[in-house]
Structure 1
Amino acid sequence: MSNAIIFRARTPASIAAVAAVLICAPVQGFAQTAPTAPRPVQASARPKPAPQAPLAQAGVQPATQGAAIGKASGSDDIVARVGDANVSADEIRGYVAALGPREQGALAQDPALLSQAVRMMLANRLVLQEVVAKKWDQQPNVAAQLDRIRENALVELYLQTASQPPANYPSDDELQKVYDANRTALLMPRQFQLSQIFVASPKDADKATEDNAKKAVDDIARKLKTPGADFAALANENDAKNGGDLGWVAEPQIRPEIRTQVMGLAKNAVSEPIRLDDGWHILKLVDTKASYTRTLPEVREQLVQQMRVERAKMLRQAYLGELIKRNPPVLNEIALSKVLSEQPRTTR
């Protein structure tokens, strides 16, 4: 059954467009008061680290005397193992806790995703064992890259902490103001619950195929007009699933050729056959939902998340701006311009 052909393609959009196609998404571009920058931590001389293996500097502990990489500390509850590589229940809990709300929701809906993640963790552990055994991480160029990765990770983690909005942000008043300012973007369009019978017949099909399809469509249309006709049964006879049920579809997502027919139907009425590029479509209007503006309780979680994200961005910018103001960088532009020109060219 062809479903996609009767719907418009969905594209990424702002909250106004997203709300219009029934996708739950946070409002973007809130007007928020610029926050006061947190006081930067006074920079101090970086202590010289004690000699250690490059992998350990990057937060990876090498295996010693056959010990498994990632062995659980303080817990013997191993949930997966391959070779000498283990994954403990504590590690899995930490992995899940570090995920965002959307990813956690996906795991709750599909537990198989967690199994895939654990398999990937085990594969990574096996690779790390190879790395340690071959001392690959101790090569100078690799060690330098690990240092840069560790430095970037530390900076990012610290900035996330320094730009974390207060736990009580946003307040109810702030949330209400943002909701009121974006009410028009939260208008949900009219929705239609549809079922469909589809008979395939591409526009470029030969005459015999088109004639057979038209004959089948006419036969279905005739049966549908008989008293007590079962639309779902006829849909299933034509290779549909669940009686041809398409679920709820937002008005802007329905192609104009279909929309004009659907909007003229009464509840439980059936359309005349409609010719599209892929074949013939017969639609049944099961029910209709009028357009409405989503209430604050409906969008509260999304608004809070997005407002906190926006505030975190502003806090980060303010923090970095204040830090650079206190410690202005000095660049030798002439020397910098020569860096790339002096790089050796690689031959291909």
Structure 2
Amino acid sequence: MSNSIVDCIRRTALVSVATLVPLVAAAQTAPTPPAPAQRQPHTAPRAAKQEPAVAPQAPAAAPKAARAADNADARKNDDVIARVGNTNISAEEIRGYVAALGDRDLAALRQDPNLLSQAVRMMLANRLVLQEINAKKWDQQPSIAEKLDRVRESAAVELYLQTVSNPPEKFPSDDDLQKVYDANRAAFLMPRQFELAQVFVALPKDADKAAEDKARKSVEDIQRKLKAPGADFAAIATEAGDANGGALGWVVENQIRPEIRSRVMELAKNAVSEPIKLDDGWHFVKVLDTKTPYTRTLPEVRDGLIQQIRNERAAVLRRTYLAELLKQQPPVINELALAGLLNERGAATR
């Protein structure tokens, strides 16, 4: 697809954060986050994990049912899905990965299973990197270990905050959802759309005269073919070098370049424009079909709207939790000393 025809063909979001009105009524239906536990600050070091001096002995004999279950679990875990070197990824690991995905990511995987294959390849690459890290004991360097500790702390805090700010499973209610939809109907307006195809003859801005003459000859040849009785637009586009027969798909009106849009608006269904000269070359545009503007229904936007409302509610719960935590234990910061540390860093880098 030529970038000149469409400024930005992208997936149309169901609704953006900025377009939604405040969800006061909806937010009140969800419980507030749990209050942070009140405790005195302490600096006790983390206890090292203790390994048993002697491994506990397994029972001499296990019931048949238990052994069967263990064998089934073993087979389940031994089902290798991918391997690189001596590193395996089991079906159970993939199940865990998929189970941890959000609704939107899961829907994307179902729509394009190749994404899961790409994720598995990345997991294998990560395993190889980890093997190299362990072999070189890279993570045991003091400066690296300190950074890793900070990363672990940040990850733990983020996961915990996600837990305490996660809205209830059935939030929002159907009534809340309907209220938000009714208050934001304008956000769900789908502009007029055009199903377009094109034949494109490239001609860069800085092309020399020989290239211009060659492109112009191609344009004249294509124009002659398009005007012939029974002309096959897709075949002509393919002959001109477009593997998709010139198909651009459905394009929203305001995403079409103004120079093209003005011509498209004048064309009837199945009509073809005269050659249009833009800064990247020549375009013959065909209107295959049109859709008039319409407002998407609640069923059409339901999943995306629910996710948007839940995200907004989670952000509110997170802010509420953190505010309460700091209220219980107000922080004290020596701003002068803090500024001095920053100045020290600046002096060291000069």
Q: What TM-score comes out, normalization by structure 1 length?
A: 0.80
The alignment partner of 1:275 has SS state of strand
1:32 aligns with one of 19, 23, 40? 23
- Matching of residue 253 in structure 1 with residue 251 in structure 2: no
User: How far apart are residue 340 of structure 1 and its match?
Assistant: 3.9
Q: Deviations over 1:78-131 (max 9, x none)?
A: 333344433221111111222233333343344343333333333333333344
**How far is the alpha carbon of 1:76 from its aligned partner?**
2.3
CA deviations 1:10-68 (Å, max 9, x no partner) are 6xxxxxxxxxx761343313302265453222336576433259xx9xxxxxxxxxxxx
Match of 1:243 in 2: 245
Q: Percent of pairs identical after alignment? A: 62
State the alpha-carbon separation in 1 of the partners of residues 246 and 97 from structure 2: 41
Aligned to 1:80: 82
Q: 1:264 aligns with which of 257, 263, 266?
A: 266
* Native 8 Å contact 1:37 1:322 kept in 2: no
Distance 1:215 1:138, change over 3 A: closer
Structure 1 residues 142-151 or 298-307, which shifts more? 142-151
Distance 1:347 1:206 in 2: 50
Partner of 1:49: 46
* Counterpart Cα distance in 1 of 2:278 and 2:124: 50
Tell me whether 1:115 sits opposite 2:104 in the alignment. no
The answer on whether the counterparts of 1:27 and 1:303 sit within 8 Å (CA) in structure 2 is: no
Change in 2 beyond 3 A, CA 1:344/1:137: farther
Where 1:313 maps in the other structure, the secondary structure is helix
Query: Aligned AA for 1:41?
Result: A
| Amino acid of the structure 2 residue aligned with 1:296 | L
Amino acid at match of 1:4: N
Equivalent pair of 2:33/2:164 in contact (CA under 8 Å): no
Q: Which runs of 5+ in 1 are unaligned?
A: 11-20, 57-71
> 1:287, CA displacement in angstroms?
1.0
SS of 1:318's equivalent? helix
Partner SS state of residue 243, structure 1: coil
CA pair 229-313 structure 1, distance change in 2 beyond 3 A: same
Contact 1:224 1:231 in 2 (8 A): yes
Hey, what's the Cα distance between the residues in 1 that align with 2:90 and 2:43? 35
* d(CA) in 1 for partners of 2:115, 2:294: 35
Q: CA deviation at 1:207?
A: 3.7
Is this contact kept in 2: 1:25–1:302, CA < 8 A? Answer: yes
User: Which residue identity lines up with residue 43 of structure 1 in the other structure?
Assistant: R
Note the residue ranges of structure 2 that are not aligned, 5 or more in a row: 52-73
List per-residue Cα deviations over 1:231-290 (Å, max 9, x = no partner).
222222222233322211111111222222211112112222222222222122111111
The alignment's TM-score, normalised by the length of structure 2, stands at: 0.79
* Aligned-residue RMSD, C-alpha: 3.0
Task: Report if aligned partners of 1:201, 1:279 keep a CA contact under 8 Å in 2.
Answer: yes
Write the distance in 1 (CA, Å) between the matches of 2:242 and 2:217.
18
Change (3 A) 1:324 1:260: same
The alignment status of 1:4 with 2:13, answered yes or no, reads no
